[in-house]
Structure 1
């Protein structure tokens, strides 16, 4: 037994084949906050699949801890039972957990269970509800295409999608994959343009390599970081120029530095610029092809 009290924090987020959910991690944050306020030292054990560089169960020395705390999730299964065997000398406490069968070894092995729900017990609020609040990151819609084969050898769509998504994975943001294709039968897609526009208008930023990803974002007053996936530039570049939108990266000059630059611009100066362009769209100040359509029809009829 260690001479001084030290807690090892575990949960389903600690197991190699477990998973880290947002609720579990927020529950952990709540427990960490309580321990820090009480000035109780602790370590957190993470799944190597989720946080490769963190402390993992395989590297933990159980003799260094006086207490084991299991945070959130259900108390069942051989993984939880193995914690009881490996940390047998520790005082073991489960907090914010669900108990399906209080007599099962996984649940019965704890010295104390501070459950959120258990048979014949009044439920209490989940730990995630009182987790310390963190600043909200930007909400980013991601509109990419892997098609457009009409551009032949000039297509860089796969490369662009790979580089953009890899870069996005390293940004602190809430990512929302979107599709401009409409479908009245697929609940995951908008059935009308208005449904998609309702989402776009609530975003902080759109990252896209699609013409309509750019135009519809600006129509909603949301800044767009556009990447043209065609070597030499094609319709995305043309539309950015027509709309007077500067946040554009070409496929042949795509790199993290350029993406970072326009990301910062879109989240600082971009919202005002996007709202200005949206106002221009609504005012109809700039002509488009439809303005010339009646005259073209008349000429064709006369001919």
Structure 2
């Protein structure tokens, strides 16, 4: 017996959701525990360099297991055609139309929508990873030719994409009618406080991260240093220069330091000078 483990995350034009991947993980772990030989196939768009459907000839398998998602559409039907010689089983799936050939092609279906069966993803082990809030500065024309925003952001986001972490895009801009943005600064600082680390090229990404007690990987997108560098100096916090943004070893070191550093919110600035200035004019 040899099983080919598939799902929507196996199709070239499918999609890989967290639930899909965890369901495949759960089934794979169960097969391994039972001593059942199996391979998992992934979409080349999601996991290049792994086994894909074209790499899994039907002659090498006795069974095909399809885990998670709805049984419908030509991609699922194509499994029945390609693996017609295999016994085909679906588990943890939705069956919107029991008469759809995508569903009737399976020899056995273990559905999840019967009102009593928990979703497969609940059976999969997960590992906690750091959560990084990413706050990128917009183009800042006031810096003229010194602005290196595009190059810095390409390097920084490329680095972040390669980390084993959860990435959360954050925007300091507020909006009352856009549900994807915070409506008040209190909401934004509350959101930032849930992050493990903030990665930013924006002054207020640095300042509000520290205000929320969250360590910050601060990168100045301006060659020679701009307001991020000046504010980092005022707060006694390290900053990566624009010229160093492509140094992944440096970024790794800063992130490692952030993950092991407890942050004390910086002191508030004094407004006494402004008050005295205005008071003297009364």
TM-score, normalised with respect to structure 2: 0.96
Q: Does 1:82 align with 2:73?
A: no
Residue of structure 1 equivalent to 2:212: 220
Which among 50, 57, 60 is matched to residue 56 of structure 2?
Answer: 60
Secondary structure of the residue aligned to 1:69 is: strand
Residue of structure 2 equivalent to 1:253: 244
Whole-Å separation in 2 of the counterparts to 1:172 and 1:123: 34
Q: Does 1:292 align with 2:273?
A: yes
Whole-Å separation in 2 of the counterparts to 1:95 and 1:267: 39
Runs of at least 5 residues in structure 2 that lack an aligned partner in the other structure = none
Whole-Å separation in 1 of the counterparts to 2:76 and 2:220: 50
* 1:298, distance to aligned residue in structure 2 (A): 4.5
Runs of at least 5 residues in structure 1 that lack an aligned partner in the other structure = none
Residue of structure 2 equivalent to 1:112: 108
Secondary structure of the residue aligned to 1:207 is: strand
Residue of structure 2 equivalent to 1:174: 166
Which among 135, 143, 146 is matched to residue 151 of structure 1?
Answer: 143
Residue of structure 1 equivalent to 2:37: 41
Whole-Å separation in 2 of the counterparts to 1:125 and 1:169: 32
Deviation sequence 1:237-278 (CA, Å, 0-9, x none): 1111111112x100012211111110110101x2x1x22xx1
Residue of structure 2 equivalent to 1:19: 15
Deviation sequence 1:203-222 (CA, Å, 0-9, x none): 10000011110000000000
79-88 or 67-76: bigger deviation: 79-88
Whole-Å separation in 1 of the counterparts to 2:90 and 2:131: 34
Whole-Å separation in 2 of the counterparts to 1:296 and 1:162: 44
Deviation sequence 1:132-167 (CA, Å, 0-9, x none): 2x2211111000012211000100111111111010
Count of residues in correspondence between the two structures: 281
Whole-Å separation in 1 of the counterparts to 2:157 and 2:79: 37
TM-score, normalised with respect to structure 1: 0.90
Aligned CA RMSD, in angstroms, stands at 1.3
* 1:78, distance to aligned residue in structure 2 (A): 1.5
Secondary structure of the residue aligned to 1:158 is: helix
**1:76 and 1:104 in contact (8 A); partners too:** yes
**1:84 and 1:109 in contact (8 A); partners too:** yes
Residue of structure 2 equivalent to 1:138: 130
Whole-Å separation in 1 of the counterparts to 2:107 and 2:70: 16
Whole-Å separation in 2 of the counterparts to 1:261 and 1:218: 18
* 1:29, distance to aligned residue in structure 2 (A): 0.9
**1:206 and 1:224 in contact (8 A); partners too:** yes
Taking a change above 3 Å as real, the CA distance of residues 122 and 223 of structure 1, as seen in their structure-2 partners, is: closer
Which among 6, 11, 15 is matched to residue 10 of structure 1?
Answer: 6
* 1:52, distance to aligned residue in structure 2 (A): 1.3
- Structure 1 or 2, whichever has the larger Rg, is 1
Residue of structure 2 equivalent to 1:265: 257
Residue of structure 2 equivalent to 1:127: 120
**1:146 and 1:158 in contact (8 A); partners too:** no
Secondary structure of the residue aligned to 2:219 is: strand
**Consecutive aligned runs of 4 or more in structure 1 exceeding 4 Å deviation:** none
